[in-house]
């Protein structure tokens, strides 16, 4: 069982000819509305990849709350741990350019008021707690303690990277997943090299798997003495929003099912690539069979 403690947003997406610079207005056609939030995206991606998933988080008591939960509800993600709080649901304003790259502004809303005590009794021995970076960091830290006490593994994708002290970065963490920018940010704050190879070499050991996603170049990972590099399959990107979340969800689902680390990474890479082929972070989260088929073809 995977427990996701994280953000739930409503995404307002506009496809643009190019992304705006500071102070600039760029117009696109109609906007589209999608359920989103890195926590919810990863929960849905893990569920579509075959895991049993429970979501713990919050939406606001506004017009967006039910919509933000709708995909998870249809996919049978357990939503008993999601609270409805006074105030607004998290909201993301997303621009997507012709190459599928995005720019995201987030209003945290109810995500800023989640509480790690909601997790007590929610993680289980042998299970996996998944965390991101869109809820308050102190709650993330406390939830790691709850999970470890319960005997659960902890999978952390610190996106965005918290501004707090990161000296205890890997305490209680089983798997850390970052992209190149996040690795560089964390590395500069820890005073280590942000080069992906060096980052993995420095932090990976027997108890901590370190994964750096490289976009269209695939992924680099380390666990104990093993180093693994997997290239990404060729795709025509339409929208890269949520590709990292699809990677995390599929990787976590595979690890939770006891899949070997290298194959689990391959399934994550396949899911991330497939997620770039449609607009919207959740609409593009791929199904288990499609992930497996593409993972088999990755050399």
What the block records as the tokens of 112 is 């800023």
Q: Rounded to an integer, what distance in angstroms lies between the CA atom of residue 263 and that of residue 269? A: 10
Q: Any contact of residue 223 with ligand RIB (CB under 6 A)?
A: no
Which is it for the CA torsion 35, 39, 45, 47, positive or negative? negative
Q: Any contact of residue 242 with ligand RIB (CB under 6 A)?
A: yes
Q: Any contact of residue 58 with ligand RIB (CB under 6 A)?
A: no
User: Which range in 32-40, 114-122, 188-196, 217-225 contacts ligand RIB by CB under 6 A?
Assistant: 32-40
What the block records as the tokens of 262 is 């290298």
Beta carbons within 8 Å of 132's beta carbon, 6+ residues apart: 6, 7, 38, 39, 42, 156, 157, 158, 159, 248
The answer to whether the CB of 55 falls within 8 A of the CB of 82 is: yes
Measured between alpha carbons, how far is residue 227 from residues 113, 181, 222, 251, 280 in Å? 39, 20, 5, 16, 32
Q: Which of 245, 256, 290, 296 is catalytic?
A: 245
Nearer to ligand RIB, 44 or 51 (CB): 44
Q: Any contact of residue 41 with ligand RIB (CB under 6 A)?
A: yes
What are residue 247's phi and psi, to 5 degrees?
-60, -50
CB of 202 to ligand RIB, least distance (A): 26
Residue 76 is a catalytic residue: no
Q: For the beta carbon of residue 81, count every other beta carbon within 10 angstroms.
A: 17
Nearer to ligand RIB, 49 or 92 (CB): 92
**Residue-level length of the chain:** 299
Q: Any contact of residue 106 with ligand RIB (CB under 6 A)?
A: yes
Task: Print burial letters for 148-158: b (CB count within 10 Å at least 16), e (below 16).
Answer: bebebbbbbbb
Q: Any contact of residue 1 with ligand RIB (CB under 6 A)?
A: no
User: Which range in 148-156, 200-208, 221-229, 240-248 contacts ligand RIB by CB under 6 A?
Assistant: 240-248
User: Closest-CB residue for ligand RIB?
Assistant: 36
Q: Any contact of residue 239 with ligand RIB (CB under 6 A)?
A: no
User: Which range in 33-41, 145-153, 229-237, 263-271 contacts ligand RIB by CB under 6 A?
Assistant: 33-41
Residues of this chain, 126-185, that bind ligand RIB according to CB under 6 A: 134
User: Which range in 56-64, 141-149, 216-224, 236-244 contacts ligand RIB by CB under 6 A?
Assistant: 236-244
Q: Any contact of residue 249 with ligand RIB (CB under 6 A)?
A: no
CB of 160 to ligand RIB, least distance (A): 9
Q: Which of 11, 153, 185, 239 contacts ligand RIB by CB under 6 A?
A: 11
Beta carbons within 8 Å of 51's beta carbon, 6+ residues apart: 1, 2, 252, 253, 256, 257
Judged by CB under 6 A, how many residues of this single chain contact ligand RIB?
A: 16
Q: Any contact of residue 271 with ligand RIB (CB under 6 A)?
A: no
Q: Pairing state of beta strands 102-107 and 90-96?
A: antiparallel
Enumerate binding residues for ligand RIB (CB under 6 A).
7, 9, 11, 36-38, 41, 92, 104, 106, 134, 241-242, 244-245, 281
Active site residues per annotation: 245
């Amino acid at each position: 069982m995977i427990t996701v403690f994280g953000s739930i947003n409503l995404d307002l997406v506009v496809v643009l000819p190019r992304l705006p610079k500071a102070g600039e207005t760029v117009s696109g056609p109609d906007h589209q509305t999608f359920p989103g939030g890195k926590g919810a995206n990863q929960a849905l991606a893990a569920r579509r990849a075959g895991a049993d998933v429970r979501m713990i988080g919050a939406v606001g008591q506004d017009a967006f709350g039910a919509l933000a939960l709708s995909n998870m509800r249809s996919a049978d993600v357990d939503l008993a741990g999601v609270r409805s709080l006074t105030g607004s649901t998290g909201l993301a304003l997303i621009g997507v350019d012709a190459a599928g790259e995005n720019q995201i502004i987030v209003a945290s809303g109810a995500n800023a008021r989640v509480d790690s005590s909601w997790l007590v009794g929610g993680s289980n021995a042998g299970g996996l707690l998944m965390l991101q970076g869109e809820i308050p960091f102190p709650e993330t830290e406390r939830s790691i303690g709850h999970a470890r006490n319960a005997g659960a593994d902890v999978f952390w994708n610190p996106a965005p990277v918290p501004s707090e002290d990161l000296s205890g970065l890997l305490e209680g963490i089983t798997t850390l997943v970052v992209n190149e920018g996040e690795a560089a940010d964390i590395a500069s704050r820890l005073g280590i090299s942000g080069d992906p190879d060096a980052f993995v070499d420095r932090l990976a050991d027997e108890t901590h798997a370190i994964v750096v996603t490289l976009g269209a170049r695939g992924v680099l990972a380390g666990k104990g003495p093993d180093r693994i590099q997997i290239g990404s399959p060729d795709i025509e990107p339409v929208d890269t929003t949520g590709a990292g979340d699809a990677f995390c969800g599929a990787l976590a689902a595979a690890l939770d099912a006891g899949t070997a680390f290298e194959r689990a990474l391959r399934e994550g890479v396949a899911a991330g690539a497939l997620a770039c082929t449609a607009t919207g972070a959740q609409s593009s989260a791929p199904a288990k069979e499609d992930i497996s088929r593409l993972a088999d073809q990755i050399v």
